[in-house]
Structure 1
Amino acid sequence: MFFSDVGARPRTWEASPSEHKKWVEVFKACDEDNKGYLSREDFKVAVVMLFGYKPSKIEANAVMSSVNPNTSGLTLEEFLNIIRKKKEAQIYRNEIRHIFTAFDRHYRGYLTLEDFQKAFKQVAPKLPERIALEVFR
């Protein structure tokens, strides 16, 4: 993939105070019995509230396997860390989609070599054409 080949990485993102507050409120709302942690089902409800989709069994298993074995679920700190990472990934995917759409001038859903070359000429006119060819492969 183009971005991993050239070493692009998502930038670190920090939640605004209001967004952080919302996450804490969602945690508290999903921790109905004030246990101090979220169970697997509580976590799924929280993700629906924050991201609008129900996590798959695989995603829920991955998250719950990262939980400290001494606790019965996700603590607030663990939850906030997971949500921050999910938000970072969402922003990064949106940036990639935006760049792809800019390159896909004919709205075909894929890039041709010609699309790629035109884009490179605009954003990096001094870049040798062979580099664009290598990246396109």
Structure 2
Amino acid sequence: MFFSEALAWPRTWEASPSEHRKWVEVFNACDEDNKGYLSREDFKVAVVMLFGYKPSKIEADSVMSSVNPNTSGLLLEEFLHIIRKKKEAQLYWNEIRHIFTAFDRHYHGYLTLEDFQKAFRQVAPKLPERTILEVFSNLGKSTYSSLTSAFGDPTMREVDQDSDGHVSFKDFEYAMQHGQKEA
């Protein structure tokens, strides 16, 4: 899955020197005939090499539409920027999944109010029950600024979007992304 730059990564992340070298090596390996840029097909091969999946037509179109019209393809610096953003998105998604899994103590694939209550009692035992209820159902505004970095903006739409009493990973991911965009 390709995440757009609109997905905010809450921390500064830089590739390690060895990771950066690997990206440059992949660029060079995919730059057939040493032309100095990657064509659409070259880019697809590079993504397979780095991320293990073939990019969709939509993803390839999106990337290639961002290419400077004066060049014939994706230059190294553009490629490195795109790959860094993809890596940031991947790390962010992994972090969201990790947080969700920590809350989902029974591995149901969804969170219940009880899951939230137990988790909050462990990490913030003095947090009022009313605030926990607001986090889960978001029936109103609350003041838990110390938790907004982990759970996003407390005034966002209901986390439980289909009101079934369960917060699916999709609901949780949406809430986390929405909170980051608002921050």
Q: Under a length normalisation based on structure 1, what TM-score does the superposition of the two structures give?
A: 0.90
Asked if structure 2 preserves the Cα contact closer than 8 Å seen for 1:13 and 1:88, the reply is: yes
Q: Which runs of 4+ in 1 moved over 3 A?
A: none
More relative contact order, 1 or 2 (CA 8 Å, 6+ apart):
1
In 2, the alpha carbon distance for the partners of 1:58 and 1:45 equals 15
| 3-state SS of 2:110 partner | coil
| 3-state SS of 2:21 partner | helix
Query: CA deviation digits over 1:13-46, x for unaligned, max 9?
Result: 1111111001000000000111111111100000
In 1, the alpha carbon distance for the partners of 2:129 and 2:71 equals 56
In 1, the alpha carbon distance for the partners of 2:36 and 2:9 equals 34
Find the counterpart in structure 1 of residue 109 from structure 2. Answer: 109
Unaligned runs of 5+ in 2: 1-7, 138-183
Percent identity reads 89
CA RMSD of aligned residues (A): 1.3
Asked if structure 1 preserves the Cα contact closer than 8 Å seen for 2:9 and 2:89, the reply is: no
Q: Which has the higher helix share?
A: 1
Correspondence 1:66 to 2:62: no
Asked if structure 1 preserves the Cα contact closer than 8 Å seen for 2:9 and 2:88, the reply is: no
AA partner of residue 37 (structure 2):
Y
Q: How many residues align?
A: 130
Find the counterpart in structure 2 of residue 91 from structure 1. Answer: 91
Find the counterpart in structure 1 of residue 30 from structure 2. Answer: 30
Unaligned runs of 5+ in 1: 1-7
Q: Under a length normalisation based on structure 2, what TM-score does the superposition of the two structures give?
A: 0.68
| 3-state SS of 1:33 partner | helix
In 2, the alpha carbon distance for the partners of 1:109 and 1:99 equals 12
| Cα shift at 1:67 | 1.0
